[in-house]
């Protein structure tokens, strides 16, 4: 660890693709070891072949015992984790009228319980050391309930709330907490979305913004800023304005009725 390299050991979940993968590449050279986790061990091996300090630690974040074993293995092999970025996530488009119970359960298990399992493994260790930095990747979809997001948005809203709880409780123990709320980013997660994605970012640019926020130890890290600020406004407008906006511009009713 040095002034230019604030972390010795970083751990990223959801690092086999998208934002997590790009962050691992950017961290190479900034941390002594970057432990990368996801289920696809082949993709993690490919990533490790590209980056000198990247170390694969395959993992299904929904398996609580496996998460504990994984953290143990990372710390035994590379040393104490200074930075933990929880980016593993699953998105399923769902028309709320359909109520796909399996999709909702999967969203909760991966997006929410996956983070909880990781926290359960890492927080006691960071507390004992009185140091550490945890970043939870949520989403602007957690700001307010958006159409077709019923299997996803509620899990991200829960993460936003969880990060707020943790920040005040962990700071006195020397642990920084960051909440990452991306807008639309071009990754395998969004590639098949059948709707327009305003201000869509490249995954490398998203990871660059994420790294900058981590280096500055910001609480909420957002990108792309303009689009996320617009979404933040929807948090404070009255409900009737919010629902008018959603039916007019997100559901496209106004455009259809005009056409
Ligand atoms: N892309 C966007 O527009 C956007 C916007 C807002 C927020 N986000 C959030 O950003 C994070 C990264 O998403 P992304 O866009 O980079 O998507 P992505 O490319 O699909 O990455 C998702 C990652 O999560 C991993 N993952 C999924 N289920 C897992 C499990 N059970 N255990 C361990 N790893 C698992 C995937 O790897 P394996 O399949 O190999 O396990 C993959 O590495 C997610 O939390 C997502 O919700 C994305």
Quote the pLDDT of residue 256. 45
Convert the pLDDT of each residue in 112-141 to its tens digit: 999 999 999 999 999 999 999 999 999 999
- The alpha carbon torsion through 219, 236, 169, 5 (nearest 10 deg) reads -10
CA angle 96, 102, 104 (to 5 degrees): 50
Is any ligand 1 atom within 6 A of the Cβ of residue 181?
no
Quote the pLDDT of residue 6. 80
- Domains in the chain (CATH in brackets) are 9-258 (3.40.50.720)
pLDDT surpassing 70 at residue 87: yes
Among residues 152, 219, 229, 245, the one annotated as catalytic is: 152
Six-digit token string for 115? 């983070």
112 is catalytic: no
Quote the pLDDT of residue 248. 86
From residue 140, give the alpha-carbon distance in Å to each of 106, 149, 155, 161, 193: 19, 11, 11, 13, 16
pTM of the model: 0.95
Cα 256 to ligand 1 centre (Å): 33
Quote the pLDDT of residue 85. 98
pLDDT surpassing 70 at residue 24: yes
The overall average pLDDT reported for the chain is 94
Q: What is the distance between the alpha carbons of residues 190 and 185, in angstroms, rounded to a whole number? A: 7
**Backbone phi, psi, residue 92, to 5°:** -125, 125
Q: What is the distance between the alpha carbons of residues 160 and 139, in angstroms, rounded to a whole number? A: 8
């Amino acid at each position: 660890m040095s002034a230019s390299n604030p972390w010795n050991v970083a751990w990223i979940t959801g690092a086999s693709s998208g934002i997590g993968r790009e962050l691992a590449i950017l961290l190479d050279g900034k941390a002594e070891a970057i432990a990368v986790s996801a289920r696809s061990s082949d993709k993690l091996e490919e990533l490790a072949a590209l980056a000198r300090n990247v170390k694969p630690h395959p993992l299904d974040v929904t398996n609580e015992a496996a998460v504990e074993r994984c953290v143990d293995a990372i710390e035994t092999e590379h040393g104490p984790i200074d930075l933990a970025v929880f980016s593993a996530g699953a998105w399923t488009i769902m028309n709320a009228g359909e109520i796909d119970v399996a999709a909702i359960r999967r969203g909760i298990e991966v997006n929410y319980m996956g983070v909880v399992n990781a926290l359960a493994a890492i927080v006691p260790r960071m507390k004992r050391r009185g140091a550490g930095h945890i970043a939870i990747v949520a989403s602007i979809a957690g700001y307010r309930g958006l159409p077709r997001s019923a299997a996803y948005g509620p899990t991200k809203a829960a993460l936003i709330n969880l990060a707020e709880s943790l920040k005040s409780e962990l700071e006195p123990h020397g642990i920084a907490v960051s909440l990452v709320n991306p807008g639309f980013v071009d990754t395998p997660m969004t590639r098949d979305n059948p709707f327009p994605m305003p201000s869509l970012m490249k995954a490398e640019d998203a990871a660059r913004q994420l790294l900058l926020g981590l280096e500055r130890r910001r609480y909420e890290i957002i990108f792309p800023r303009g689009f996320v600020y617009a979404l933040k406004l929807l948090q404070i407008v009255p409900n009737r304005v919010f629902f008018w906006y959603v039916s007019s511009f997100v559901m496209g009713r106004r455009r259809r009725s005009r056409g």
